[in-house]
Amino acid sequence: MRARDGATDAPCRVHLVDIHDLRLDPQALGSVGSRPVRATDAVAWLRSGFQSLNRSPYIRFVEGEEAGASDLSLRIELINAYVMSITHITRAASVVLRVRYDRPGSPSDDQVYRGTHDALNWVSGDEARSSFSAALAEILGAVDRDVRARCSASLAASGN
């Protein structure tokens, strides 16, 4: 984020409060062909993905004592994640998340994000994982944009 005079502002301090998997079966991710796709720890996968936003010069994740001084808090819910064969040679993966944004002095707001990825079916078991990663990357791009917009709005409202 840049101030009007061109000086660089401090990055937005973001607290990742929690991540919940709301799916009925947290290990089921659909199937490719006749092969079921299973997850071991979707919450850890999401946490790792969201932590990648920390690479942005505009976002800095804070924890512990620093969390009380955050500019924005995120609560993430995994609503759905599945992969399925469309034809015998193609597959589609989808990830649906709800992110609750909390800003000091503002009401909470929720945003639902859907990331998708279509690809060819191969024989490797890694193909579904790569499709889920691509779908999550699509979501993270939108979340990055929305975090920056909410932080900018908070700074503008506070007069900074």
Q: What is the 3-state secondary structure (H, E, C) of 16-44?
A: EEEEEECCCCCCEEEEECCEEEECCCHHH
- Contact call for residues 47 and 63 (beta carbons, < 8 A): no
Higher pLDDT, 153 or 55: 55
pLDDT tens digits, one per residue of 113-126: 999 998 876 655 56
pLDDT of res. 77: 98
What's the CA gap between 116 and 135, in Å, rounded?
5
Other C-beta atoms within 10 Å of 85: how many? 16
Instruction: Provide the mean pLDDT of the chain.
Output: 86
What's the CA gap between 104 and 11, in Å, rounded?
16
pLDDT of res. 2: 40
In this structure, the strands spanning 109-120 and 72-85 are unpaired
13-154: CATH number: 3.40.50.10610
The two structure tokens encoding residue 75: 């609560």
pLDDT of res. 6: 39
pLDDT of res. 124: 54
Task: Compute the average pLDDT of residues 134-154.
Answer: 92
What's the CA gap between 66 and 20, in Å, rounded?
22
Confidence (pTM): 0.85
Lowest mean pLDDT of 11-15, 18-22, 36-40, 115-119, name the range. Answer: 36-40
Domains in the chain: boundaries: 13-154
Task: Compute the average pLDDT of residues 83-95.
Answer: 86
Res. 5: pLDDT tops 50: no
Percent of residues, the chain, with pLDDT higher than 90: 57
What's the CA gap between 47 and 126, in Å, rounded?
20
Residue at 23: amino acid letter: R
Q: Which residue shows structure tokens 């919450």?
A: 43
Task: Compute the average pLDDT of residues 130-137.
Answer: 93
pLDDT of res. 122: 63
The two structure tokens encoding residue 60: 């800095």
pLDDT of res. 39: 84
